[in-house]
Amino acid sequence: MSTQLMPYGALTVFTKQWRCFIGLFLAVVLGGGAYLLFAEEKYESVAQLVITFGDRSTPEVDRSPATEMTPSDRREIVLSHAAILQSHDLARAAIEAFGLQTVYPDIVESPPSRGTPMDKAITTFLDSLSVEVGQQDNIITLSFRHPDKRLAPKLVQKLIDLYVSRQTEIYHNPHQDFLSTEVRQAGDRLAAAQTALEQFKSRWRITDYDKEVEDLLGQRGDLDTDLHTAKANLAQAQHRQAELQTLMRKVPEKLPESASSEKYRALDDARSRLADLRTKQSQMLATYTPDSPALSSLKAGIATAEAEVAARTAELNHRSTSVPNTVYQTLQTDYMRTAAEADSNSQPVRVLGEQIAAIDQRLGELRKNRGSFNDLMREHQIAEETYRALSLQFADARVKGNLNDQRISPAVVLSAPTEPYKAVRPRKLITLLSCVFGGALLAAGVALLREAFDDRFSTAEQVAFLLDLPVLASLERRTHRIPPEILALGGTSE
């Protein structure tokens, strides 16, 4: 019956259910005491590891700038190391190192019905192992509980040793034999590529392809400029030569020698008579007819005078001497100088033309073999880069192999396993306090639950309170009565 509306209900419930309350309370307390008395004591050994990164970790052969790791990357690495510590294989190896009989003799004495004793031992070992990772650091806290306080730190130390060996195998497996074979093959390929490239260069006389093409193009540009200049000079000289040749044709090579008046008097007299006759003929044509005897006689005289002039002139030419023409000689000198200049200018044109033709032929050869040269250079570059990369990896693998042999790893023991001096399980004070408070709460709860399901009137106060009727008599043993005014809430009191 509910007692929530009853004054002093809790006291009434306790009075009615005291046996149940005390029984449950004592049972819980005695059960906790029995657990503390018979429970197996376990001792805890604690160690700490720190995971190093970057230049504080294992040395690297490749000196290229390393990528800076983010906090999340570091966190993942630390968690992966913690997972290695909690691996099934490490637990088995640690147990096998000391022997199952030594680590868990009770499992050997009472093997499980399902599975093997080793499986049970591994499960117990992992349940007793605690691996914690800090939220803001790279420290791993390792704790292990075991009944033997001397064996607990030894198991922790063995687990750490196995962990160091295991993580070096996982993270730094060098594969030296494989890399050695790859480096040797890459070296042979590089040597073949180098030989092919040298033979090609020797065949086509190539030292530096791009530099040679650049130099040849520069030389060709300079030679082309010189050739145009030489051709212009040659054309100018040839044009001057042609002009001088034309002038030489117009200017007489020799001039007649100047004669005295005595030497040419007969010729002058003949010419004077001829001139007089022609003048007289002109005058007579105005008076006489062309066929008149006088005019015919005059014409015969003119013919005779012309013949005499011609005879005198021929005779004078045979007898006269000529002198060189200085103008002609000057022109001839200039012509010879211009001809020599033209001949001298023709030589550079020929030589420059031959040089340009040779350069064009060389450029043609280089252009023709450009593809083959690029292929050989590309093959040599790839082979060289491959050989360098593999060589660095092989050197790095050798270093890491030596690190593995020396058991050097990024994980460093920050705190060695502690020697426990007292048991950490069971916790006596906490267990006793928990039993006392837990037993009291459980007993009170059960008592209230029983009272809630009890529908009987067990006291006069319940009858008066719930039925609102006065109680005439009550047959019960009470050491203490509630004041009578509480009984009559709606009626009259006795």
HSE-up of 416 (CA within 13 Å, CB side)? Answer: 2
Residue whose C-alpha is closest to residue 493's, from 459, 460, 463, 470: 470
DSSP 408-461: --SEEEEEPPP---S--BS-HHHHHHHHHHHHHHHHHHHHHHHHHT--S--SHH
User: Contacts from 27-33 at CB under 8 Å and sequence distance 24+?
Assistant: 27/439, 28/435, 28/438, 28/439, 28/442, 28/443, 29/435, 29/436, 29/439, 31/435, 32/431, 32/432, 32/434, 32/435, 32/439, 33/432, 33/435
Q: How far apart are CA 22 and CA 12, in angstroms?
A: 15
Give the residue, 494 or 139, on which the prediction is more confident. 139
Per-residue pLDDT at 494? 40
Percent of the chain with pLDDT over 90: 11
Residues with Cβ within 8 Å of residue 133, at least 6 apart in sequence:
78, 79, 82, 139, 140, 141
| 436-445 tens-digit pLDDT | 888 888 878 8
| 290-349 tens-digit pLDDT | 777 777 777 787 888 788 878 877 766 665 556 677 887 888 888 888 888 888 888 888
Choice among 142-156, 333-347, 368-382 with the minimum mean pLDDT: 333-347
CB burial of residue 363 (10 Å; 0-12, 13-18, 19+): middle
- pTM score of the predicted model: 0.47
| 97-134 tens-digit pLDDT | 999 889 988 888 888 888 898 999 999 999 999 998 87
Q: What is the CA radius of gyration of the chain?
A: 68
- In this structure, whether the domain defined by 43-172+409-415 belongs to CATH 3.30.1890 is answered with yes
